[in-house]
Structure 1
Amino acid sequence: MPIDEHLVRPKRRDAALNNERLVQAAREVFARQGLSATLEDIAKHAGIGVGTVYRNFASKKEIVETLYDAAIDSALADAQTALEIEDPWVAIVSFFEVTAANQAQDRGLCETFLGHDGFGPNEPIAEKLVAVLSPLFDRASQAGVLREGVTVTDIGPIFAMLNSVYRMSNARPDLWRRYLALMLDGLRASDRPALPLPALDVASFKTALSAGD
């Protein structure tokens, strides 16, 4: 028996709208509550039943990964934009400030990058991060503006430390800027002594980022 397309199309359109509404609701809930938010929280925020959530996404992990794909592309685009800045040190500062500002506004984004609650970058994505960001750090190092021993893999621990500041910033949402400035001062070449320990090597960095995968 032929299927009446007029009966099928509205259903498909509704399903697409529900999916878009869910993704947007998840983005807003995770930004405010972090990755501890539940599917029930997302459904409530979207104004739909939790059963609809499960019909669109098999798990919270699937929703996080959907959002994370877009987030990683945005972060890599920010790194590419920073490379277009002529001054190598200003480029480094720009990358950190833009990335930190995005993470400060979105707890879920920050926690995803840091591999919290079982979510985080997989190894191929970690490799991509290293590949895109290495030229930024290599250029600054060759220009003599980075402290000796500073490398691309230092970004993980730096953003992990900033994450603690984001959590303290309810009264002062921009408090992280003070501590980022202190950290950047520590990265800049000067007459300071050599760093006491080497940075993570690339293999360890990828393992650390993908620990929650």
Structure 2
Amino acid sequence: MPINEPLARPKRKDAALNSERLVQAAREVFARQGLSATLEDIAQHAGIGVGTVYRNFASKRQIVETLYDAAVDSALSEAQTLLDIEDPWIAIVTFFEVTAASQARDRGLCETFLGHDSFGPNERAAEKIVAVLSPLFDRASKAGVLRKGVTVTDIGPIFAMLNGVYRMSDASPELWRRYLTLILDGLRASDRPALPLPALDVASFTTALTTSH
């Protein structure tokens, strides 16, 4: 009779605690420094050796995916509920305010959405962003509350612009709200002339999000 393979031993209690500490440390470091933070930065913040990081995670990419893949999916799930808001314009405003607030608190989340170095949405995630948010923008367009020519793919450049404000607002963490208000004023339907250039098409939007920066 073949000898049964030994059962995999559960993580020792201290190893499990190290893993939890690492994930929390990574969340705090990426939120403050963005995805350019190193594994050494995470280890130092957690108060452990960098070797312990590698025993828990094969790479920095694995940590980023552990933290942010679920966060992006959760944000999109919440965005779907915005269709329950009766006023199409208020739904659009709420989407930008909630998303911008999350990104302002967490540079890593912002860079994951926008793409940073080799990190960012894959093609499937980028297409999901368009699929989930299109009904929100289509409804607002049909209601006549969005400026002519505004489309869901405008969110990429808009959040890229806001990212510049997040980076310069240490002395005033809510500074982004001023500039988001100016942006929203430009998105709302009015007697302004048509926008000078078309928005990105879906293919170009996907490429912009998934290409390394």
> Aligned letter for 2:20?
E
> Is 1:47 aligned with 2:22?
no
> Is 1:68 aligned with 2:73?
no
Task: Give the TM-score taking structure 1 as reference length.
Answer: 0.93
- Residue of structure 1 in register with 2:194 after alignment: 194
> Aligned letter for 1:57?
F
Greater mean alpha carbon deviation, residues 197-206 or residues 72-81: 72-81
Give percent identity, aligned residues only. Answer: 82
Question: Mapping of 1:152-171 within 5 angstroms?
Answer: 152-171=152-171
> Aligned letter for 1:192?
R
Contact 1:78–1:99 (8 Å) recurs in 2: no
Q: Distance in 2 between matches of 1:30 and 1:144?
A: 39
Q: Distance in 2 between matches of 1:2 and 1:45?
A: 42
Q: Distance in 2 between matches of 1:207 and 1:66?
A: 23
- Residue of structure 2 in register with 1:123 after alignment: 123
> Is 1:35 aligned with 2:5?
no
- Report the 3-state secondary structure (helix = DSSP H, G, I; strand = E; otherwise coil) of the residue aligned with 2:117: helix
Give the CA deviation at 1:76. Answer: 0.4
- Report the 3-state secondary structure (helix = DSSP H, G, I; strand = E; otherwise coil) of the residue aligned with 1:191: coil
Greater mean alpha carbon deviation, residues 110-119 or residues 22-31: 110-119
Give the CA deviation at 1:84. Answer: 1.3
> Aligned letter for 2:173?
P
> Aligned letter for 2:166?
Y
- Residue of structure 2 in register with 1:180 after alignment: 180
- Residue of structure 2 in register with 1:96 after alignment: 96
Any stretches of 5+ residues in structure 2 without a counterpart?
Answer: none
Q: Distance in 2 between matches of 1:102 and 1:111?
A: 12
- Residue of structure 2 in register with 1:148 after alignment: 148
- Residue of structure 1 in register with 2:138 after alignment: 138
Question: Mapping of 1:2-17 within 5 angstroms?
Answer: 8-9=9-10, 11-17=11-17
User: In the superposition, relative to structure 1, how do residues 127 and 119 fare at CA in structure 2: closer, same or farther (>3 Å)?
Assistant: same
* Runs of 4+ in structure 1 over 6 Å off: 1-5
Greater mean alpha carbon deviation, residues 141-150 or residues 110-119: 110-119
Q: Distance in 2 between matches of 1:136 and 1:52?
A: 44
